[in-house]
Structure 1
Amino acid sequence: MAKKKKKEEFVEIEEEKGYGVFQWILFVLVIPLLFAITVALIVMTVAGVNIFEKAKEVGAHVPFVSKLIDDGGNNQGGQTDKEKIVSLQAEVKNKEAKIEQLEKKLKTSDKKMEDLLTEKDRLEIEIEKLRQQDNTADAAKEQQNSENKKLSDTYEAMAPKNIASILVNLSDNEAVKILTEMSTEKQAAVLEKLPPDKAAKYTKILSGAS
């Protein structure tokens, strides 16, 4: 019975020792530490320091804490890695669509440029044809003038009587044209050899032409 009582007293003493150590730790370490942290937080808040950013910077240097921060940052903004991938893929598709639009515009511009060059070539060919036609017309006119000059020279060398005999067999337009190529003296000499009605008619036409 005495042994049992001593044992109970010993247990009570040990329990009191355990409570004493816990209380010592609580009052000496934990409470002052919490108080110091609280005072530090108040001072930092008053000083304008972002407590959470500061904690993140400090925690980034601690391996386990930095991993937790990184994991928390991956979900920041409500986006997971898969969602970010989907977002980036959508952005790539958007860029590809814009590139395709620019390529279409470039092709349209190239087509317009090609059409303009084709039209330019066509106009140059048309201009060249007109020049050739103009040169041909000038050449034909020059040849005609040359032939008329030769014919005029021939009639100038002929006797007025012979010329008159030729003109009466021609149309009025042809006869007047030949007379026009002659000098005034030659015309007068030929008209004297023509029948009076022809001479009067040709004289009137020549007067109107001059």
Structure 2
Amino acid sequence: MAKKREFVEIEEEKGYGVFQWILFVLVIPLLFAITVALIVMTVAGVNVFEKAKEIGSHVPFVSSLIDDDGSADKGGQTDKEKIVSLQAEIKNKEAKIEQLEKNLKASDKKMEDLYTEKDRLEIELEKLKETDDAAVAEEKQDNQLISTYESMSPKNIANILVNLSDNEAVKILSEMSTEKQADILEKLPPEKAAKYTKLLSGVS
């Protein structure tokens, strides 16, 4: 019984010794080497974690575990590249929107100018109609006046014309027939008749 207990203690001591051997011979030197390597690489300016991610991305199982801002998506595009691409797309859309707004403003301005031109043309047309109506009315009035003079005797017309201005008298005479003009001029004073004859020749 005592021998058996001693054997168990030796086995336990032996197992403990193997664990210690692994710890002192493998684990501690490995940790020390890693620490020294980290210090040297950091001093050399190498980003150890980025380098580890870069190496890990080539290892199939490890690459699936890496998930950070610089990780690649299914299309092989990193998140940073995707952000830059999306920002560029947003700027492009904003530029298009700005261009469309400018085109819309230009169209509004053009439409406003067209409406203004339309209003101006309508006013001008209205004025022309009014002028035309006034001219027609005046012509109608003149025709009625001439018809009245035509119905009067040459002597009475001559008496009226001497009291009018030369321009008015010549205008009335010019609207009458040549035969009527001759009859009226015959009834006028010689100096007036000569003057009106001269003015009538200039009118005709």
Using structure 1 for the length normalisation, give the TM-score. Answer: 0.63
* Other-structure match for 2:126: 132
* Other-structure match for 2:60: 69
Corresponding residue to 1:93 among 64, 87, 90: 87
Task: Measure the CA separation in 1 of the matches of 2:70 and 2:98.
Answer: 36
Structure number with higher helix proportion: 1
Amino acid of the structure 1 residue aligned with 2:192 = K
CA deviation string 1:58-106 (max 9, x = no partner)? xxxxxxxxx932535898xxx9318922221111111101100000000
Runs of 4+ in 1 over 3 A off after TM superposition: 70-75
Residues 1:181 and 2:199 are matched in the alignment: no
Q: How does 1:46-57 map to 2 (within 5 A)?
A: none
Task: Measure the CA separation in 1 of the matches of 2:103 and 2:164.
Answer: 66
CA deviation string 1:41-71 (max 9, x = no partner)? xxxxxxxxxxxxxxxxxxxxxxxxxx93253
Residues 1:194 and 2:188 are matched in the alignment: yes
Task: Measure the CA separation in 1 of the matches of 2:61 and 2:109.
Answer: 60
Q: Number of aligned pairs?
A: 141
Corresponding residue to 1:119 among 96, 113, 134: 113
- How far is the alpha carbon of 1:126 from its aligned partner? 1.1
CA deviation string 1:78-137 (max 9, x = no partner)? x93189222211111111011000000000000000111111111111111111111111
Task: Measure the CA separation in 1 of the matches of 2:91 and 2:165.
Answer: 81
- How far is the alpha carbon of 1:168 from its aligned partner? 0.7
Unaligned stretches of 5+ in structure 1?
1-66
Task: Measure the CA separation in 2 of the matches of 1:201 and 1:182.
Answer: 17
Q: How does 1:93-172 map to 2 (within 5 A)?
A: 93-172=87-166
Q: Computing the radius of gyration over CA atoms, which structure comes out larger, 1 or 2?
A: 1
Unaligned stretches of 5+ in structure 2?
1-57
What is the root-mean-square deviation in Å for CA atoms of aligned residues? 2.2
Q: Is the 8 A contact 2:174 2:203 kept in 1?
A: no
* Other-structure match for 1:48: none
Task: Measure the CA separation in 2 of the matches of 1:104 and 1:157.
Answer: 79
Q: Is the 8 A contact 1:74 1:81 kept in 2?
A: no
Using structure 2 for the length normalisation, give the TM-score. Answer: 0.64
Q: Is the 8 A contact 2:146 2:172 kept in 1?
A: yes
